Amino acid sequence: MTEPTHIVCPHCDAVNRMPHSRLADAPTCGKCTQPLFTGRPLDVDSARFERHIGRNDIPVLVDFWAEWCGPCKMMAPAYAQAAGQLEPAVRLLKVDTERAQDLSARFAIRSIPTLALFKGGREVARQSGAMDAVRLSAWVRQHIG
């Protein structure tokens, strides 16, 4: 028997358990009944970041960005498009480095945008600079195997 997959709800942050085979079946949260996958990146603060990185069994891609960053703004539509392509295999988060300076320092974010891919709560890949949706999706797929 397969171990259940844990998915953190993007709406209420409840941890949901389900068979991995059901991820593509438009699952809903057992607590708030909202969809577990929205096809959009999720803006998170430090506390929500910890919950999503630590409790999701699927890989989590994080865009470290800032409002004043031109390349970040240019990449935002591509990142949103990639969310629609990569979910439910990957959860996409956005962390505003100005609001979450603790995370910026902890992960030594020196340039933005910076993408960091996490699996099992650990960073497994990092890429700085803006990318289009095709390159971004290909980069993620290359690292999630």
Residues with active-site annotation? 69, 72
Tokens matching residue 24:
């593509």
pLDDT at 1 over 70: no
pTM over the 0.85 mark: yes
Q: Which spans in the chain are helix H?
A: 46-55, 70-86, 101-106, 133-144
Q: Which of 99, 74, 89, 79 is CA-nearest to residue 143?
A: 89
pLDDT score for 110: 95
CA distances from 27 to 32, 93, 100 (A): 12, 19, 30
pLDDT band at 3 (very low <50, low <70, confident <90, very high): confident
> What is the signed CA dihedral for 69, 71, 72, 78, rounded to 10 degrees?
160
